[in-house]
Chains A and B, each alone.
Chain A
Amino acid sequence: MNKLAIIPLLLGLGWPVLADEQHHAEHHSSTQISQSIEFRHAWVRAAGEQQITAAFVQLRSAEDKQLVAVHSDLAEFNEVHTHSMVDGMMQMREISHIDLPANQWVNLQPGGLHLMLINLQRELTPGEEIPLQLLFADGEQLSLPFQVMERTYLPEAEHHSEHDTEMHHGHHGH
């Protein structure tokens, strides 16, 4: 675990995007959080009575890594999830890990890979920032600040991901 990487985050210096600029978050450059991992656009969807919500982030590692778990004090269960289309149905399942191939941005985003926070202990209000701890297969552990965004929030589309092209079709009915 890279303790040095976490110190600037605790001091609030590791995250250049303030709450009042959050709608510009997509345009900000990434933040180096350890010797090998960069992240950008870390956000979590606000949650009320549902007590379940999803968190998203874009990650790039300088070497091959695997994200294997997420932890937080805010939720009873913290899981790594993905969506896939099976038998014409969108299904969401827990997965054991997310591969981070060297030097490649991996996007956790709505409708795809995400971190799932289940049985939240309290409501998450837009504008606040919550820490989530990411655990990697090699034992590295990082604490990242996630911006709480409105439930209506949509990240500016990363239009060229596989997921988008897969979903961009409609067909006329009868």
Chain B
Amino acid sequence: MTMSRLLLITSTILLALLVANTLWIFRPGQIAAAKQASAAEVELESAIGSWQLASLEPEQYALIFFGYHRCPDICPLTLAHLGRAYQQLPIDLQDRLQVVMVSVDPRLDDWQELFAYPPLFHPSFKAVAGETEQVDQLVAHFEAFYRVVDLPSSGLGYAIDHSPGLYLTNHRAERLLTLVSDDSHYLLTELKTFFGDQP
């Protein structure tokens, strides 16, 4: 093997390593940023038209959770606690915080009934629904889970197991706070603490 041939191979390997290294360093960050941007742009339907996190004002926040209209106990429980906590927030914080229930059963939920449901707990609360792929993108972004389970022996026929978390986020779909609680005092304290820390 000639010297020049050896140099060529060595430099090729070095170049390949450099390129691989560059990709290795930059890729995860770029992917995370892209995912966040696409989560913010996920477009769902609400009672008053299309909804997406990206359309929040920069100073606004959304507290989202996953559920479904036929969810018989956990969803009304979550909404009742949220309603109670929300009513006790100062008005200026209420104006900056949107509570959004995202349906993980968009095919079987009656959307009009779904949309009418959260406002029972507070007039400003809303529900959104959409294509399963879009919903799944939001679910994945917040590292939540759900699964449809057949229950042939129950009159329900099926149930949807789902993460009970409440995800505080903004127009950039940043994951600012995750709350898991069935206590409205706790929710209120956490929200006040979070907003108290904001400039």
Contact = CB atoms under 8 A, between A and B. Distances in A.
Interface of A: 45, 49-50, 52-54, 76-77, 79, 81, 83, 85-94, 110-111, 114, 116, 118-119, 151-154, 157, 159, 163-164, 167-174
A173 B145 contact: no
B119 to A, nearest CB: 11
B45 to A, nearest CB: 18
B121 interface: yes
Contact of B178 (A81, A94, A119, A170): A170
From B77, B146, B153, name the one whose CB has the most chain A CB atoms within 10 angstroms.
Answer: B77
Nearest to A163: B182
Interface string B173-199: 011111111111010001000000000
A76 B76 contact: no
Contact of B81 (A54, A91, A154, A171): A154
23 contacts: A49-B110, A49-B113, A50-B70, A52-B72, A77-B156, A81-B73, A83-B74, A87-B145, A91-B149, A92-B74, A92-B161, A111-B74, A111-B182, A114-B73, A151-B120, A152-B80, A154-B77, A157-B183, A167-B164, A167-B183, A170-B181, A170-B190, A172-B178
B35 interface: no
B162 A89 contact: yes
The residue among B72, B79, B177 with the most chain A CB atoms within 10 A of its own CB is B72
Given A49-B113, A94-B151, A116-B156, A89 B161 contact: yes
B72 A92 contact: yes
A152 B83 contact: yes
Contact of A90 (B70, B79, B162, B184): B162
Nearest to A167: B182
Contacts of B80: 110, 151-154
Contact of A77 (B155, B163, B184): B155
Interface of B: 69-70, 72-74, 76-77, 79-81, 83-84, 110, 113, 120-121, 145-147, 149, 151, 153-156, 159, 161-164, 167-168, 174-184, 186, 190
A163 to B, nearest CB: 8
Given A87-B145, A90-B161, A114-B73, 16 more contacts: A52-B70, A54-B73, A77-B156, A81-B73, A89-B146, A89-B147, A90-B163, A92-B74, A118-B155, A152-B120, A164-B183, A167-B182, A168-B181, A169-B180, A169-B181, A173-B177
Contacts of B186: 168, 170
Contacts of B153: 94
Most-contacted residue by chain A among B69, B120, B154, B163 (CB, 10 A): B154
A92 B178 contact: no
B175 A94 contact: no
Contact of B167 (A85, A86, A118, A173): A173
B190 A79 contact: no
Contacts of A53: 72
A50 B69 contact: yes
